């Protein structure tokens, strides 16, 4: 069915203008005025009046962990529940970070596994990032090329956790990915510092969730960011993408590297690092916020918002990785080191960026589209199919009421988890309608899409 959206204020990364959009055969067919006179509309065309509303490209969240196996725990949202939550929150594409596989497994082991997890379940379009794990062998370095041939031109490296890579392994991945024009993403934390604290604090009786934050200080992250930037420089400015950057010192490291002329550095932060502080860990339910890196301070938050506005940060994602507060998170009730890391957020990202960012004048609406839609799509090879509204792009969009206020609360959310990290937050702005490829996904916070309708996004190298 054709869809004609009339009189909306269409927002791109560069401009905002009033026009109509015609979606035909799942793609944007035309943007302009009086389209009904230029194009012969079929009788059954769906016409939507968007007067006074914003029309944004569907959100692109390039950092989620659906159905993630993390040690003994499995993230609560599978590819159905997690993508329903995404859809209702205005995100129409995800690129999911696959879990570590069994020791020594090839990269395709996880790719095959994840195709199985997502197919028939995902309600929005999806891609995967590869996961590079220790040991990094010549065979696996070779396999990076066939991953790209299979639509996966990005790979994530962890500098902490069990299967973290050593610096020499990191260098070899960076060099190979540069040859292949792919992107290497990094979880940056200094493993030795973090592990020493995780041993020491419980011995000193420091077992509460606040010590989770203290065990992973800003400088442990910033040191790892600096190291990655040096390694990337050694690899002749190999592309690096820093995931979930959370603090001032880390962003300063990036700014200094860029000022020295280093190219191909991409930075992502996440909604939670822009909105929540380490004070949350002092709450009775502080375990809800145990994630890595941890929440930081108001000073860090201010620095990150500035980094978005001045272009030092390219992407806002979520790192959506929920565990039940009443179940898995309680593993950490006597010792934060036993608490699974991660929190929900895929549903809240777009509206919080609007309410906390645009309404509070920290970023423009065009910047929101840039960092939540266009840039992630460009960096990771989804653009111009995704991340933009222009003729030929997929008909993925959001209609946003700019003034309607509501309070975020778990009972209105769609993730299968038992909490939102933003309970009770008053937001301005309301996502009225969400479409994917011209099909209605969500309306007035009700999911009305179809299980399994999400398609694998075959991405191409971009750098």
Contact of residue 342 among Zn ion, ligand URP, none (CB under 5-8 Å per partner type) = ligand URP
Cβ at position 103, least distance to ligand URP in Å: 19
Cβ at position 70, least distance to ligand URP in Å: 7
Examine residue 367 and tell whether it contacts Zn ion (CB under 5 A). no
Contact of residue 328 among Zn ion, ligand URP, none (CB under 5-8 Å per partner type) = none
Cβ at position 371, least distance to ligand URP in Å: 19
Q: What residues between 296 and 355 interact with Zn ion by CB under 5 A?
A: 319
Task: Judge contact between 248 and 180, C-beta under 8 A.
Answer: no
Cβ at position 323, least distance to ligand URP in Å: 9
Examine residue 268 and tell whether it contacts Zn ion (CB under 5 A). no
Nearer to Zn ion, 187 or 349 (CB): 187
Nearer to Zn ion, 169 or 396 (CB): 169
Cβ at position 424, least distance to Zn ion in Å: 26
Nearer to ligand URP, 22 or 339 (CB): 339
- Catalog residues that contact ligand URP under the rule CB under 6 A: 65, 187, 291-292, 319, 321, 341-342
Report the C-alpha gap between 75 and 119 in whole angstroms: 18
Nearer to ligand URP, 11 or 290 (CB): 290
Examine residue 67 and tell whether it contacts Zn ion (CB under 5 A). no
Nearer to Zn ion, 207 or 215 (CB): 215
Residue nearest to Zn ion (CB): 187
Tell me the number of residues near Zn ion by CB under 5 A.
2
Contact of residue 2 among ligand URP, Zn ion, none (CB under 5-8 Å per partner type) = none
Nearer to Zn ion, 223 or 319 (CB): 319
Q: What residues between 149 and 188 interact with Zn ion by CB under 5 A?
A: 187
Q: What residues between 181 and 200 interact with Zn ion by CB under 5 A?
A: 187
Examine residue 129 and tell whether it contacts Zn ion (CB under 5 A). no
Which residues face 19 on adjacent strands? 8
Nearer to ligand URP, 58 or 293 (CB): 293
Examine residue 61 and tell whether it contacts Zn ion (CB under 5 A). no
Cβ at position 281, least distance to ligand URP in Å: 13
Per-residue 3-state assignment (H helix, E strand, C coil) for the chain: CCEEEEEEEEECCCCEEEEEEEEECCEEEEEECCHHHHCCCCCCCEEEECCCCEEEECEEEEEECCCCEECCEECCCCHHHHHHHHHHCCEEEEEEECCCCCCCCCHHHHHHHHHHHHCCCCCCEEEEEEEECCCCCHHHHHHHHHHHHCCCCEEEEECCCCCCCCHHHHHHHHHHHHHHCCEEEEECCCHHHHHHHHHHHHHCCCCCCHHHHHHCCHHHHHHHHHHHHHHHHHCCCCCEEECCCCCHHHHHHHHHHHHCCCCCEEEEEEHHHHHCEHHHHHCCCHHHHCCCCCCECHHHHHHHHHHHHCCCCCEEECCECCCCCCCHHHHHCCCHHHCCCCECCCCCHHHHHHHHHHCCCCCCHHHHHHHHHHHHHHHCCCCCCCCCCCCCCECCEEEEEEEEEEECCHHHCCCCCCCCCCCCCEEEEEEEEEEECCEEEEECCEECCCCCCCCECCCCCCC
Cβ at position 169, least distance to Zn ion in Å: 17
Nearer to ligand URP, 91 or 272 (CB): 272
Cβ at position 189, least distance to Zn ion in Å: 8
Residues that bind Zn ion (CB under 5 A): 187, 319
């Amino acid at each position: 069915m054709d869809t004609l959206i009339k009189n909306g204020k269409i927002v791109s990364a560069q401009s905002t203008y009033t026009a109509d959009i015609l979606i035909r055969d799942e793609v944007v067919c035309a943007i302009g005025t009086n389209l009904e006179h230029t194009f012969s509309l079929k009788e059954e065309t769906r016409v939507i009046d968007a007067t006074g509303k914003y029309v944004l490209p569907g959100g692109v969240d390039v950092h989620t962990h659906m159905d993630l196996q993390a040690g003994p725990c499995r993230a609560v949202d599978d590819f159905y529940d997690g993508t329903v939550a995404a859809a209702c929150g205005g995100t129409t594409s995800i690129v999911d970070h696959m879990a570590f596989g069994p020791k020594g497994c090839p990269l395709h082991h996880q790719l095959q596994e994840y195709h199985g997890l997502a197919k028939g379940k995902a309600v929005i379009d999806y891609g995967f990032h590869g996961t590079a794990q220790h040991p990094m062998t010549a065979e696996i370095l070779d396999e990076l090329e066939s991953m790209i041939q299979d639509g996966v031109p990005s790979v994530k490296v962890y500098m902490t956790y069990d299967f973290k890579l050593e610096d020499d392994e990191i260098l070899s991945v960076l060099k190979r990915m540069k040859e292949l024009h792919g992107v290497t993403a990094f979880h940056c934390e200094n493993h030795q510092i973090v592990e020493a604290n995780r041993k020491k604090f419980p011995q000193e009786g420091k077992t509460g969730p606040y010590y989770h934050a203290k065990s992973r200080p800003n400088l442990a992250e910033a040191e790892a960011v600096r190291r990655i930037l040096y390694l990337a420089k050694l690899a002749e400015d190999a592309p690096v993408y820093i995931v979930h950057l959370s603090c001032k010192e880390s962003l300063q490291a990036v700014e200094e590297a860029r000022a020295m002329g280093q190219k191909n550095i991409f930075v992502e932060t996440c909604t939670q690092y822009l909105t929540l502080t380490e004070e949350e860990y002092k709450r009775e339910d502080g375990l809800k916020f145990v994630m890595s890196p941890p929440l930081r301070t108001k000073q860090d938050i201010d620095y990150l918002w500035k980094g978005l506005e001045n272009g030092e940060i390219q992407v806002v994602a979520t790192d959506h990785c929920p565990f039940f507060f009443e179940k898995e998170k309680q593993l950490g009730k006597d010792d934060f080191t036993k608490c699974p890391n991660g929190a929900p957020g895929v549903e809240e990202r777009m509206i919080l960026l609007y309410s906390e960012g645009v309404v509070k004048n920290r970023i423009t609406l065009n910047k929101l589209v840039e960092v939540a839609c266009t840039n992630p799509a460009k960096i990771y090879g989804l653009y111009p199919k995704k991340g933009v509204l222009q003729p030929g792009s997929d008909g993925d969009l959001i209609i946003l009421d700019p003034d309607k206020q509501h309070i975020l609360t778990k009972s209105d959310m769609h993730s299968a988890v038992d909490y939102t990290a933003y309970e009770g937050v008053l937001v301005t702005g309301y996502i009225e309608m969400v479409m994917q490829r011209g099909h209605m996904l969500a309306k007035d916070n009700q999911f009305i899409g179809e299980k399994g309708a999400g398609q694998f996004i075959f991405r191409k190298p971009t750098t």
